[in-house]
Chains A and B, each alone.
Chain A
């Protein structure tokens, strides 16, 4: 068993990952894959319907699926339903409400995490509206009002924006409540010519056909409403238009009043909507496939391809799967520490490698989709910090086969990917970069270097935590371990060398990254250093590292001191990475930031406890006791 355990585990997890690349089975005979990968323009970039649906659902519900009686709806399926069968969608519990007071207002029977359907608060809507108006009015005069909201107010505003988003989605593919969209469009098209002739005649004060105008009027107003709320821009630019000139369906139909022509994409989109609404899988498939080949035939192949690639990326869910594999590796590493079975460690290392490969694939895929270096926002920084730490941990594990690198890096990989998941709830993770950030040179140099600095700080910090906890409570640190050269040294000694080496590594990257940041600032606004919170955060890490190294070189700290300082590095780095964003100085505060604050405080407190342990007298250390016995 021992021989094949590592390989079996590896193959099972690898197959599980690859299964994501398969197109999902059609559901109720509807080919949702075809629809999910259709390109639309949102947030300034081409993206598949699937991404629109996932991000919308994540921001409303906090999850990318909807649970319903008997089955689970994917994000795309839910969105398509909201777009075409609003009466069904109104029964789905997609609105997340967390504040107990708000739940009370909605008449929830039991407080706690609750999901609501649109139908659940049709009676409470007026009351909600008046609450929101009161809040908005009280905030009018204060600039920083959004920062000082109570939990109830935050939740109220979240619910409000979710409701708005829901309404936008309902009006994205056809007007809400529309019975037969293709028929409406045909009627609109027929009414356009005569009505426009009448309008022109009216303008020059000639006799005109008022009934022709009346026939157009209700449809025109319906499309106008749709134009003002629709969410993604689904209608591609016409031949000869600027490539970014996408419109929503309503806006395109309104424009038809001027050109007296219906955009050729609209009949396809209308057919998609009505065939889904009327439960005709064959027609649905034909409409979606027809639309895709029309796009390809009309110079929009690049958009179709880009959208397909992103759809595949969404299906693969590489970061979620890497996270699961890391957890498995972590568990195996911990088991090894208990039973010291080499095959368990080997299995763990193999899974760590697999997790790292999936993580790398995801990172590379993302970079390719965006055409950007790995780190462009806080979300991707979390992903990259984990990636860097796992890489370093793998190297450590190769040098010292004691599962230290395995446990430390799989734990950091897991935690950073969890953080990334929560950061993704605040919206599109591939958002376009504001003007000053739109520079691949500096994103690739400054941002990457500084983020590797973060990775190594956290890795050194976690190794130090392992040293302190294991050294304090067990005698492990004084036990010999076979290292790479088959020499035996005790574990404490090995960990000390690891932490020292990683602190050196981190010093280089943090310092170079910080100076590169200064040079970027000098390039973009003429100031090498401006004492901005983010700059200060980076400087704090550099100073902290410099202090550790000088203390060590001067003999002012020994092993336990080094460990205490490295654990302190966790605090400094988490402040630099997250803390400065919570200050709300010159930066926007995001929803997750509020939720993350108590976590940050808890993390800092836990690290302080570890530092106190590290500084306790040797008499209390189990490892020192066993070593001197």
Chain B
């Protein structure tokens, strides 16, 4: 029984079915990008077990196709199983053996990447020194203890947790955070009266600005800006409530908010702070930060154009890397196709802000980043060996048909059927 299951897991038919399903999925996922955008398609088609079809008018999704993880997973099992059972390590099969080993490494590496890769951005201005990178798609609620002037103690809570929590307690905090309201996507509004569903607070900026719910967006270019109303409850009762939102912290949103407020923008300058047990705290919701054990300072950003055009020729950032623990202190030039790799992080020149003063570096941490390179070498070698062997037999003629295990003998009939009539035509 067990061997039967194993045999079917290793079957060539399963391989073909998986490949065909993958083909359909990739094609569908490409066409779907026209309407859904790249990010949404990745989540729905490729980084999922099942592709769901939203039943119109409801929130229910009906599975209609296997997703990327399912197909890839089954294909990986199929590969490993057939690698164990069918492929002998012989000279004749060496190429096939190597190529499929490479494929196993490639697929496993991609699964590992999906699971472990952390992507973030570092926005750094000329002359500025940065110790962290940020992920603007992943937000965190932070309570910062600012009592000690020399350092800040940060308690971070993933913002996604707020959606389903009533009250949050943290061992480092002498108070509880009570979630009085949460909006997955919010727009700031002003003006008289309480608006239905809008968040308004008794303390901080939420007194002047309300946050009204708005439709959740799925497009790649736009991100959701949630808002939450948090009440701080100490031992002696409520200290007050504050509205937190990336509108108040994220560079791009803050810029828009400042512009919208016009002359009243000064209200944004006051931090949302409170005191408890003779400690001072600040509360905000911001893009998740990843602190580094070293610092990067942007010395120069260049954005070169081809003469007489506005076609970009080059973007580059000259940064100074300072790492006391490793004794590193050096300048590095990061430019297109030439990233900085340091202590598991890779920094790529990703973008810049108008004015050429601000460089945006993409920071990727991927423990499996070497697997494609290894896989590429193995598969290329394997395929070359295999097809070279075919080519030799093919060129030698004698067994070209044998290179195809099952050839249709019907058309390979001897030449006796040559039709004389045809020749006269």
Contact = CB atoms under 8 A, between A and B. Distances in A.
Nearest to B366: A526
A544 B26 CA distance: 11
A559 B41 CA distance: 37
A523 interface: yes
Contacts of A580: 30
A539 B72 CA distance: 14
Contacts of A490: 411-413, 415
B65 interface: no
Given A438-B336, A497-B400, A624 B410 contact: yes
Contact of A550 (B16, B110, B391, B412): B16
Nearest to A554: B12
B404 interface: yes
B186 interface: no
Nearest to B304: A435
B29 A536 contact: yes
Contacts of A618: 410
Interface stretch (A68-76, A201-209, A356-364, A501-509): A501-509
Contacts of B330: none
A42 B379 CA distance: 44
B12 A504 contact: no
B180 to A, nearest CB: 38
A492 B30 contact: no
Nearest to B387: A504
Contacts of B12: 550, 553-554, 556
A503 to B, nearest CB: 10
A533 B313 contact: no
Contacts of B413: 478, 490, 627
Contacts of B391: 501
A518 interface: yes
B340 to A, nearest CB: 11
Nearest to A232: B308
Contact of B383 (A242, A442, A507): A507
A348 B145 CA distance: 84
Interface residues of B, number: 79
Interface string B26-37: 110111011000
B419 A515 contact: no
A531 interface: yes
A550 B23 contact: no
Most buried by A among B307, B394, B397: B307
B135 interface: no
A44 B311 CA distance: 8
Interface string A496-535: 1100110011011001100110111011111111111100
A479 interface: yes
B19 A543 contact: yes
A575 B401 CA distance: 32
B240 to A, nearest CB: 43
A340 interface: yes
A552 B12 CA distance: 10
A586 B38 contact: yes
Contact of A480 (B113, B397, B415): B415
Nearest to B31: A583
Interface residues of A, number: 95
B129 interface: no
A484 B403 CA distance: 18
Interface string A437-467: 0110010000000000000000000000000
A583 to B, nearest CB: 5
A501 B339 contact: no
Most buried by B among A44, A399, A477: A44
Given A543-B19, A629-B417, A525 B425 contact: no
B60 interface: no
A43 interface: yes
Contact of A526 (B19, B45, B364): B364
Contacts of B350: 525
Given A434-B311, A515-B379, A519-B372, A531 B41 contact: yes
A547 B16 contact: yes
B397 A543 contact: no
B337 A436 contact: yes
A508 B337 contact: no
A43 B269 CA distance: 46
Given A493-B411, A526-B339, A559-B411, A432 B311 contact: yes
A489 interface: yes
B276 interface: no
A233 interface: yes
B235 interface: no
A446 to B, nearest CB: 11
A487 interface: yes
Nearest to B27: A540
B253 interface: no
A508 B34 contact: no
B23 A547 contact: yes
A246 interface: yes
Contact of B348 (A515, A526, A544): A526
Contact of A42 (B29, B308, B346, B414): B308
Most buried by B among A479, A530, A584: A479
Given A552-B404, A584-B34, A41 B422 contact: no
A439 B349 CA distance: 15
A627 B379 CA distance: 41
Nearest to B415: A480
A551 B346 contact: no
Given A497-B401, A508-B384, A479 B16 contact: no
B362 interface: yes
A537 interface: yes
Contact of A528 (B29, B110, B336, B348): B110
Contact of B362 (A45, A478, A525, A551): A525
Nearest to A546: B19
Interface in B70-107: 106
Contacts of B305: 44
Given A480-B418, A558-B406, A524 B336 contact: yes
Contacts of B22: 543
A476 B419 CA distance: 9
Contacts of A586: 38
A574 interface: no
A623 interface: yes
Contacts of A507: 383, 387
Nearest to A553: B405
B250 interface: no
Contacts of A492: 411-412
A158 to B, nearest CB: 22
Interface in B360-419: 362, 364, 366, 369, 372-373, 375-376, 379-380, 383-384, 387, 390-391, 394-395, 397, 400-401, 403-408, 410-415, 417-419
Interface string A610-624: 000000001000011
Interface of A: 41-45, 233, 242-246, 338, 340, 399, 431-432, 434-436, 438-439, 442, 474-480, 483-485, 487-490, 492-493, 496-497, 500-501, 504-505, 507-508, 511-512, 515-516, 518-520, 522-533, 536-537, 539-540, 543-544, 546-547, 550-556, 558-560, 575, 580, 583-586, 618, 623-624, 626-627, 629
The 9 closest A-B pairs by CB, nearest first: A44-B306, A244-B307, A480-B415, A526-B364, A555-B406, A558-B408, A492-B411, A554-B12, A44-B309
Given A497-B394, A624-B411, 16 more contacts: A42-B308, A43-B306, A43-B309, A479-B417, A485-B397, A501-B394, A512-B376, A512-B383, A525-B348, A533-B30, A543-B26, A550-B15, A556-B16, A558-B406, A580-B30, A626-B419
Interface of B: 12-13, 15-16, 19-20, 22-23, 26-27, 29-31, 33-34, 38, 41-42, 45-46, 106, 110, 113, 119, 305-309, 311-315, 336-339, 346, 348, 350, 362, 364, 366, 369, 372-373, 375-376, 379-380, 383-384, 387, 390-391, 394-395, 397, 400-401, 403-408, 410-415, 417-419, 422-423, 425
5 contacts: A44-B305, A340-B423, A547-B16, A624-B410, A627-B410
